Amino acid sequence: MTIESDKDITPVVAVDTIENLAGEFPGFRRAHAKGIAFDATFVPNGELADYTTADHLQTKSVPAIVRFSHSSPRPELNEALMPIKGMAVRFELPGDKYTNLTMANIPVFITKTPEDFIRLLQMMSKESPLTVMERLEVFRKSPEFSTVPDLLKSLKPVSSFAEETFHALHTYYLVDSHCDKHPVRFRWIPVDAIDEQNDTSSKKDLESEILHRLQRGTVQFRLVVQFAEPGDELNDSSVKWPKERKLVEAGILTINEMRQDSAENIIFDPTAIVDGVECSDDPVLLFRSPAYLESAKRRQAERGL
């Protein structure tokens, strides 16, 4: 299956493409199928209060739901072969409101547009007529896939969800009380990441590893916000901003109890925002929302929900 034109690549086609590539696993998310969820608490430190009116970025602590995941669409997987991991966080706000940050442990996204990403998946499908050498040649020659080789090279085995830095990748705008907008990118940085007593070789998977860690101590992440400067790319999450950009720590997330429901019914749509935050026009960000809804529609119907 190869689709030439951007307009043919809809969120439904995106989910079909993933199923075609990885197989169908009824009832599971079409990506990041395997994961573990926790209740959590986010304590903002007020450092962003001048930049945004958003409730969860003031000074009052808010409950949160966190789901760590492996990026594969296959619920049974060899974790070591899949070093891209996810961390999805829902901040639960007064009045049944919520907002999500749905991040991965990669510093940039693979492509600039969702259409290129789906074409890349199609190229990797067993139905693709291209040989391995021809695929490598396409990567080498196509500017739209120029990020891929470096990204693949940068991937390292993951020994704990609690030791990874996760990036939202897309730009969001913080909106202050004067309605001025500040373009930023969010990331979670682990607190006290390296646990020297932790013998990961004896844990069979990252889920047991994080549960074991929680029995012995705390697992926390700092929410860190990077501010753009004029000229920085705001709608292309395949491009990093210079590391000199201002970073502000916005608060600490503490992981609490494991959730028995595994957050199965939750859709961590990254465009779910609240007053004080706006989405950028990054086409990947905007495409994710209907793609996640399509995946959720399928998995919820299969679960009889």
Residue ranges binding ligand HEM (CB under 6 A): 14-15, 29-32, 35, 67, 69, 86, 88, 102-104, 109, 114, 117, 168-169, 267-268, 284, 287-288, 291-292, 295-296, 299
Q: How far is the CB of 228 from ligand HEM (least distance, A)?
A: 17
Q: How far is the CB of 280 from ligand HEM (least distance, A)?
A: 13
Nearest to ligand HEM of 113, 198 (CB atom): 113
Pairing of the two strands 62-70 and 172-175:
unpaired
Residue nearest to ligand HEM (CB): 86
- Left (φ > 0), alpha (ψ -120 to 50) or beta: where does 162 sit? alpha
Nearest to ligand HEM of 277, 284 (CB atom): 284
Q: How far is the CB of 133 from ligand HEM (least distance, A)?
A: 27
SS3 (DSSP) at 300:
helix
Tokens for 113? 């547009």
Nearest to ligand HEM of 18, 198 (CB atom): 18
Nearest to ligand HEM of 51, 109 (CB atom): 109
Q: How far is CA 138 from CA 120, 142, 144, in A?
A: 10, 6, 10
SS3 content of the chain, % helix, strand, coil (to 5): 30, 25, 45
One DSSP character per residue, 25-68 reads -TTS-SSS-SEEEEEEEEEE-STTTTT---GGGSSS-EEEEEEE
Nearest to ligand HEM of 56, 67 (CB atom): 67
Q: How far is the CB of 219 from ligand HEM (least distance, A)?
A: 17
Q: How far is the CB of 270 from ligand HEM (least distance, A)?
A: 7
How far apart, in Å, do the first and last CA atoms of the chain sit?
31
